[in-house]
Every structure is written in structure tokens, then in C-alpha cells.
Amino acid sequence: MESNQSFVMECDRAPRLNEMADFFSTTAGGRSGAPLKMPDVDRRLFQGDRSLAEFIDAHRLLWGNFDPHYFSSIPYRLEEEARLGDAMFRYGMNIARPDQPANFYVLGSAEGTFARTLAQAGGGCIRTLSCSPNKENEESFYSYGVPPFAEFFLGPFHHLTKQVIRASDRLRHFDSGFDIILEDTTFQMYSPNRSAQIQFVKGHLKDDGIMIFVEKFRQDDENEYLRRELQKDYGYKSRFFTSSEIESKNAAILKRMNQNENTISAMSVALAEHFKYSYITWNSGNFCTIAAGNSAQNLSRYISSMVPPCIPNEYVYTSTPLSLLRSAIPDLQFRTYQTNAA
């Protein structure tokens, strides 16, 4: 395993902080990248589940400039945001104690809307941390005031060390580690070096904690990869962006980002180096959500709190929940939708 210093240098030279920097700055600052119309959830996919609707309604009130661009770019990612948020909220409230809130860390989610919504819903039972290297995202985070249970670190994920956490009055309460860490389409902006990326971030995770990855994956069959990209671009993104805008982003960001993507098989190898269990819990074209951990009990508790994916079948190519490693949790299933007040 490479040294921490060489890993930090690799990340400092990464596309996210260099050739992609202007795109993220202008989009987060609201100077470009806005969709033709605001994305909204297809509430039919919630099947009447009140908890999903309540989470996404609270989430929408905190949007910044990057959120509309992001949720217009990945098919049904906004519905997955509600599903993830509902499951993480249930998990956090279940494990929180009066003297020890659940700690969640979300890296790569721009202005931190997701983490802030969770902290607000938890009312002190859940504390969250978000990070971004863009000052514009920090400004969006604080544009709704200073939240009592959510923090923001201005800087890339690899600059957030244990020493930084311990030295900060705002962050010191996270020194005990995080119960859940969510990596939201971040690693693919830096390099394909998933094992080192996971190792670095896992240093902040509690021993029985859960790490969640939302990433875009390459396919072993390049034609299949391209087919799913065309479905994304012209079956979904064209609702929000012009053809020239889609082609411009493909040239400026996606072609470079694709070089840093892993296949699912390569990701499975990297996960096996750090976790006993890992499951795909959502699939949309070339995108997947993966949950991993070393505690079968906690991972089962988390995944079992999720409703089935809220996405039309034509975008789904993988059955879920699907174990990626030999170690599997028996009879693991998603929960059913809940439509009553209880």
C-alpha cells in the first residue's frame, strides 16, 4: 500500500482540483450549468410512502446552485437521494444515544444539502459533516444560516485528516469516528485508485461503521457502457439540457472522468481489501450505490431499512440487494413501503 504522502500528492494533482476546477466553480456559483427546468421527483415511484416524500420536501428547501445540475444529470438520482436519506435517518435514530449522536460524513455532495437535511431531521440525534474544495459550495451551505448539528469543511476529502478534526473546535466531536460515511461521486473525479481512496477515508470510520459509495462504473463491454450513456443522455438528461450542453459536458468533464472509473469487478477487489461485506443497493444505467462494512448486524440493519429502488425498470440492469463479496448476509431484503403515519 502506498504511503500517505504519495496518496495526498496524487490527489492534489487530480483532475477535480485542476482541469475540472473551473467547471465545478462556475456551476456551484450559479454562473453556468443550470438546467432548463428544475428537476423534481416522480412521486409515483414512492408508492405513497410518506417518509420518502417528507425527506425530499425538507431537502428541496435547502437546495443550492449545484443541486439542480446534479439531479438533472443522473437518471432518478433524486429519488435515490430520498431513499438514501430515509434509510440513513432511520439507522441514525436507531443507534443514537442521549450522550452520543450518530455521526455521518458525506464527501462530495457539493453544498452539503443531503447531510444538512439529515442533521435537521435528527434534531440533535444526528450530527453531520460535509466537505467540498469549492468556496461557492460553502457559501451555499451557510446561505440558510448556521445549522446547529451540521458542519462544513472547506477543502478536498484528502485534506481532512484526524489531526485537522482534533484541532478544530467545530469538528472535534467527530474525533470518535463516523457511523456512516457516504462518498457521493467523488473518487471518480480524482483517480481510479479505489483501494487507497477507501483506505484513507476508512480511517474516519468506526470499526462497525458503514461506508456507502455512489459511483459511475465502467462496463467490461464498452458497447454496453456507451448504450447506457446514450440512454442517460437522450432518455433523461435531454429533459433538462440542450444537446449542445450535453455534448459540451461530455467533452469537458465526462471523458476525463471516465478514465478514473472502475468496473464493478475491480471495485469488488478493492472493497474486499477493507470490508467483509458489500452490497449493490441501487442501479441506474452505469451508476450504482454500494454499501459496505465489517459488521453484518449493522449493515443488515441499514439495508433492511431501505425501501426498494425508486426507479423505472428500463434503467435497471442489476438486481438488488446484490452481494459483491463471498461473505453474504443471509436473507437480506429491503423493507416494504410504509404509507401510514406510523
Each residue's pLDDT, cut to its tens digit, for the chain (342 residues) gives: 446 889 999 999 999 999 999 999 999 999 999 999 999 999 999 999 999 999 999 999 999 999 999 999 999 999 999 999 999 999 999 999 989 999 999 998 899 999 999 999 999 999 999 999 999 999 999 999 999 999 999 999 999 999 999 999 999 999 999 999 999 999 999 999 999 999 999 999 999 999 999 999 999 999 999 999 999 999 999 999 999 999 888 886 766 778 999 999 999 999 999 999 999 999 999 999 999 999 999 999 999 999 999 999 999 999 999 999 999 999 999 999 877 544
DSSP conformational letter for 206: E
Residue found by looking up cell 451557510 in the block: 142
pTM: 0.96
User: What is d(CA 207, CA 199) in angstroms, rounded to the nearest whole number?
Assistant: 13
Is the CA virtual torsion 9, 152, 199, 22 positive or negative?
A: negative
Q: Determine the residue type at 9.
A: M
**Topology adopted by domain 4-323:** Rossmann fold (3.40.50)
**Nearest C-alpha neighbor of 147 from the set 114, 116, 115, 101:** 116
Domain range annotation of the chain: 4-323
Which among 194, 331, 320 has a CA at the least distance from the CA of 265? 194
